[in-house]
């Protein structure tokens, strides 16, 4: 009789709920057979209905040759027939739980994939902007010098001495091409990598008579990202002065301090309204900020320009 009652109770329970659970099955079994307690163990988790007075006699439940859990009722007694009756519903419950776990895992994986795609896109954009800044701050410096050399060549055509200017111009074209190729490939100047910031700035600015470089106070090496950032900031500062204040005297100073790395770039040009500045000053700030530093630009029409920067230890 109790097997018939259990079968009917299980059918009613499974038909009335969309998500059968081990705890719900334990309640249905215990109620149908008049037990005081019923316990189902599935995947190591124990689901109890009624009182946990025991003693319990665990009985394995198998479905199609596979263990799906154990069943025990109180008071203890033979549960062979009950185990057979509850096997298929318990296997269904277990399968539903596994399917739900796989669904949640799939949802998590999908979200992680979306996050990874967004992260990859953001990193690609950051790399693109970094390359754009490198080209702007490094290679453009050479192109500005090339344009100025063309102006000198034009003057030489009118006054003589063309051959010397042409030779210098060709050398500058070769140098600009080299810098463009290296920058696009992510290659930093050899002097910067091997000998540090002071050597790299000396090598780069030595051929510009209007630029005075003071690196006597720079004796310490810094992380590569810091030296690279400050190197390009200084080149961009010189580049801005040469473009907007042609002929002005430019002084670049880089030195150590007890707090970190300090640098300045000043010119005695016509100055400008800082509030109306373009992307060049934004690049300076972005580079310094990327390594935890700051850049301050002060200028006014008729008063020259002073750029100061600092990267803490």
Instruction: List phi, psi (to 5°) of 306.
Output: -135, 120
Regarding whether 290 and 201 lie in a shared domain, the answer is yes
What does the pLDDT look like over 13-43, one tens digit per residue? 777 666 778 888 888 888 888 888 888 888 8
Average pLDDT over residues 193-208: 88
User: What is the reported pTM?
Assistant: 0.47
Average pLDDT over residues 185-201: 79
Domain that holds residue 243: 189-313
Q: Do the domain assignments include residue 302?
A: yes
Question: In the chain, pLDDT over 70 holds for what percent of residues?
Answer: 71
Copy the structure tokens of residue 152. Answer: 């000198």
DSSP string, 137-187: IIIHHHHHHHHHHHHHHHHHHHHS-HHHHHHHHHHHHHHHHHHHHHHHTTP
Q: Do the domain assignments include residue 154?
A: no
Q: For residue 132, name the pLDDT band (cuts at 50, 70, 90).
A: low
Q: Of 171 and 214, which is predicted with more confidence?
A: 214
Residue where one domain finishes, among candidates 101, 116, 131: 116
Q: Do the domain assignments include residue 148?
A: no
What does the pLDDT look like over 226-261, one tens digit per residue? 898 899 899 888 888 888 888 889 999 999 988 899
Residue where one domain finishes, among candidates 97, 116, 135: 116
Regarding whether 111 and 224 lie in a shared domain, the answer is no
* Displacement of CA 70 from its chain's centroid (Å): 49
What does the pLDDT look like over 75-102, one tens digit per residue? 876 677 777 888 888 888 788 778 877 8
> What's the total number of domains in the chain?
2
Q: Do the domain assignments include residue 178?
A: no
Residue where one domain finishes, among candidates 116, 146, 163: 116
Average pLDDT over residues 48-76: 82
Copy the structure tokens of residue 304. Answer: 């020259």
CATH assignment at residue 70: 3.30.450
Q: What stretches of the chain adopt beta strand conformation (E)?
A: 37-42, 45-50, 59-63, 66-74, 211-214, 250-256, 260-267, 294-299, 305-312
CB 184 within 8 A of CB 176: no
Q: pLDDT value at position 117?
A: 66
Regarding whether 197 and 312 lie in a shared domain, the answer is yes
């Amino acid at each position: 009789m109790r097997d018939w009652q259990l079968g009917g109770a299980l059918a009613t329970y499974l038909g009335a709920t969309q998500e059968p659970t081990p705890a719900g099955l334990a309640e249905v079994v215990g109620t149908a057979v008049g037990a005081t307690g019923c316990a189902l163990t599935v995947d190591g988790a124990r689901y109890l209905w009624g009182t946990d007075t025991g003693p319990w006699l665990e009985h394995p439940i198998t479905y199609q040759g596979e263990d799906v859990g154990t069943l025990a009722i109180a008071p203890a007694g033979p549960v062979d027939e009950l185990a057979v009756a509850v096997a298929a519903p318990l296997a269904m419950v277990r399968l539903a739980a596994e399917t739900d776990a796989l669904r949640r895992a799939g949802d998590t994986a999908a979200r992680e994939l979306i996050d990874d795609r967004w992260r990859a896109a953001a990193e690609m954009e950051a790399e693109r902007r970094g390359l754009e800044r490198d080209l702007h701050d490094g290679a453009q410096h050479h192109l500005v010098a090339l344009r100025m050399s063309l102006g000198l060549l034009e003057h030489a055509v009118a006054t003589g001495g063309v051959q010397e200017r042409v030779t210098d111009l060709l050398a500058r074209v070769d140098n600009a091409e080299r810098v463009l190729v290296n920058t696009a490939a992510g290659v930093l100047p050899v002097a910067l990598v091997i000998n540090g910031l002071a050597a790299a700035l000396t090598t780069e600015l030595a051929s510009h008579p209007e630029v005075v470089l003071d690196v006597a106070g720079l004796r310490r090496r810094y992380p590569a990202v810091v030296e690279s950032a400050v190197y390009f900031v200084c080149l961009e500062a010189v580049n801005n002065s040469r473009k907007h204040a042609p002929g002005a005297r430019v002084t670049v100073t880089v030195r150590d301090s007890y707090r970190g790395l300090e640098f300045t770039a000043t010119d005695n040009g016509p100055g400008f309204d800082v509030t109306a500045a373009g992307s060049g000053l934004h690049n300076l700030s972005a580079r310094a900020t990327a390594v935890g530093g700051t850049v301050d630009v002060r200028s006014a029409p008729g008063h020259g320009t002073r750029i100061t920067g600092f990267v803490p230890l």
